[in-house]
Amino acid sequence: MEPTPGVLQGRRIVLGVSGGIAAYKAIEVCRRLVDLGAHVVPVLTEAAHNMVGPTTFTALASEPVKTSLWRDADPIPHTTMGQGADAIVVCPATARIISDLRTGRSGDLLSATLVATAAPVVVCPAMHTEMWEHPAVEDNIEVLRRRGVVIVPPEEGRLAGGDIGKGRLADPATVVEAVVGLFTPGPLAGRRVLVTAGGTREPIDPVRYIGNRSSGRQGHAVAAIAAALGAEVTLVTTSSLPPPDRVDLVEVETAAEMHDAVTAVAADADVIVMSAAVADFRPASSADQKIKKSGGPPVVDLEPTVDILAALGRVKSPGQVLVGFAAETENLVDNARDKLVRKGADLLVANDVSAPGVGFAHETNAVTIFGSDGSVRDVPLTDKTAIARAVLDEAMARLPDSESADQ
């Protein structure tokens, strides 16, 4: 959906361009921001001059290009821009500028402006796959996310040098959408979303448990997207992943703890996304001390855990949208449709976890979303953020009085 013309009228946007090959795409970002009414102040690093010409940005933006802390009529250009900005967008953001922002290093005009602002910051990484996947870069990105920086993730595609991989700058329309989202209510504004994530752990003794392979990545992605769409989000998780920005985090371990945490807030939720892999069985009793192997193989008697999804389905209030997940290895369609009906869900998101790149411990997923109205939507292999958006789009379409439901 194209942003409404004039939606950024009067907004002062500092557009930082660092020295990545994708800097040419920032020209289109600049044009789009200006077309939407923004007052765009372009700041190019010295390295960016090797990729794009400052004359182009000066012609398209609202002010001439700024580059230096020292060669400016303003004696403190970084402070002036930082204090006056409604938002700062770094597009593309190289590994170097990401590191500078994380550490607070202010070695040039752009990095100094980023440190000298209280305005929201949008960072659009672009770099080669090996750089994007380097632990230092991954750690820097996670730190920035926790601080509230909006990260527009890179896409997979053709990179400099001709190879294919993750690290390509997001499409200019996606970048502009993230900026517009800073100033407009999201489609889930005023809504409450409850998300569960991770695999529960049912203790056998103090050091052993019955569990599963779920990492929690998909549930955390759902929570992050829901928050970005304006929702008030509660995330009940067993995962040790860093929590997304702007969510109410509830950490649990067992199915019983998850049931209690979910039950406490479910009645007030507009959308409930049960993406956690909840254990179906637990030990009937747990040893107080570590079981020693000298005693021979222990006998572990199992009992069913509470079926949280089915319990929610029985008490679901009118207008509430309940989403379940099903990890399958065979008969996906039949099993998913059966579970959808038995649990009383509105949507059932099923995936074949035996397929390459799908499900547990992967950054990617591929799902089929079944609706209680008979609808079926296939989402081919993609990153879990895109899967999260697809799931939430289907949920939003079923909310009462939603624009999607009226179309």
Residue 201, pLDDT score: 97
Beta-carbon contacts of residue 20 (< 8 Å; ≥ 6 apart): 51, 92, 93, 94, 126, 127, 169
Residue 173 sits in the same domain as residue 196? no
- Res 200 pLDDT > 80: yes
Residues 196, 177, single domain; the answer is: no
Assess contact for 11 and 184: CB atoms under 8 A: no
Q: How far apart are CA 238 and CA 253, in angstroms?
A: 5
Last residue of a domain, one of 181, 209, 235: 181
What is the percentage of the chain residues whose pLDDT exceeds 70?
98
User: In whole angstroms, what is the distance from residue 180 CA to residue 290 CA?
Assistant: 55
Rounded to the nearest 10 degrees, how much is the dihedral formed by the CA atoms of 293, 294, 297, 302? -70
Of 181, 211, 237, at which residue does a domain stop?
Answer: 181
In a domain, 354, yes or no: yes
pLDDT grade, residue 405 (50/70/90)?
Answer: very low
* Statement to judge: residues 25 and 91 lie in one domain: yes
- Report which of 119, 72, 117, 88 is spatially closest to residue 18, judged by C-alpha positions: 88
| pLDDT greater than 50 at residue 257 | yes
Tell me, what DSSP letter sits at residue 161? T
pLDDT at 256 over 60: yes
Exposed, middle or buried by CB within 10 Å (0-12, 13-18, 19+), for 109?
A: buried
The string of pLDDT tens digits covering residues 343-365 is 999 999 999 999 998 978 788 89
CATH number reported for the structural domain that contains residue 382 in this entry: 3.40.50.10300
Q: How confident is the model at residue 156 (pLDDT cuts 50, 70, 90)?
A: confident
Residue 199, helix vs strand vs coil: strand
What is the dihedral sign for C-alpha 256, 259, 262, 267?
Answer: negative
Where residue 45 falls among pLDDT bands split at 50, 70, 90? Answer: very high
Residue 1: pLDDT over 70:
no
* Residue 98 shares a structural domain with residue 44: yes
Whether 330 is covered by a domain: the verdict is yes
- Model confidence over 205-249: pLDDT tens digits? 999 999 999 999 999 999 999 998 999 999 999 999 988 878 999
Q: Quick one: pLDDT at residue 402?
A: 57
Residues 371-375 have a mean pLDDT of 97
Query: How many structural domains does the chain have?
Result: 2
Nearest to 322, CA basis, from 302, 342, 304: 342
Q: What are phi and psi of 126, to 5 degrees?
A: -155, 120
Q: Are 101 and 149 in contact (CB under 8 A)?
A: yes
Note the pLDDT of residue 20: 92
Residues 160 and 197 reside in one and the same domain: no
Q: Which parts of 62-190 fold into alpha helices (H)?
A: 77-84, 95-103, 109-115, 129-132, 135-146, 172-181
Residues 272 and 389 in one domain: yes
**What's the rounded mean pLDDT across residues 181-209?**
95
204-216: b or e for each residue (b if 16 or more CB lie within 10 Å)?
bbeebbbbbebbb
Q: Is residue 2 part of a domain?
A: no
SS3 of residue 354 by DSSP: coil
Give a yes or no: residue 115 inside a domain.
yes
Angstrom distances, CA of residue 229 to CA of 124, 194, 222, 324? 18, 14, 11, 20
Residues 122, 55 share a domain: yes
* R_g (Cα) of the chain, nearest Å: 24
Percent of the chain whose pLDDT exceeds 90: 84
Query: In a 3-state reduction of DSSP, which class is residue 355?
Result: coil
Verify whether residue 335 is a known catalytic residue.
no
Averaged pLDDT, 80-86: 97
User: What pLDDT, on the 0 to 100 scale, is given for residue 166?
Assistant: 86
Do 165 and 220 lie in one domain? The reply is no
First and final CA of the chain: distance in angstroms?
14
Give the list of residues 6+ apart from residue 153 with CB closer than 8 angstroms, or none.
125, 170, 383, 385
Say what the pLDDT of residue 393 is: 97
Predicted TM-score (pTM) of the model is: 0.71
Q: Are residues 124 and 234 in the same domain?
A: no
Same domain, 157 and 208: no
CATH of the domain at 27: 3.40.50.1950
Catalytic residue among 50, 140, 212, 335: 212
Residue 36 lies in domain: 12-181
Is residue 5, in this structure, part of any structural domain at all?
no
Main-chain phi, psi angles of 148, to 5 degrees: 100, 5
Final residue before a domain boundary, out of 116, 150, 181: 181
Q: In angstroms, what CA-CA distances link 290 with 208, 294, 325?
A: 8, 11, 34
pLDDT value of residue 404: 43
Query: Is 56 part of a structural domain of the chain?
Result: yes
What pLDDT was estimated at residue 360? Answer: 87
| Total Cβ atoms within 10 A of residue 23 | 24
Same domain, residue pair 276 and 169: no
Please say if the pLDDT value at position 403 is more than 90: no
Sequence-distant (≥ 6) Cβ neighbours of residue 31 within 8 angstroms? 60
Strand segments, DSSP code E, in 38-83 are 39-44
Q: Are residues 171 and 234 in the same domain?
A: no
Residues 279-324 have pLDDT tens digits of 999 999 999 999 999 989 999 999 999 999 999 999 999 999 999 9
Computed over every residue of the chain, the mean pLDDT equals: 93
Instruction: Report whether pLDDT(14) > 50.
Output: yes
Task: Please classify residue 303 by burial: count the beta carbons closer than 10 Å to its beta carbon, then call 0-12 exposed, 13-18 middle and 19+ buried.
Answer: exposed
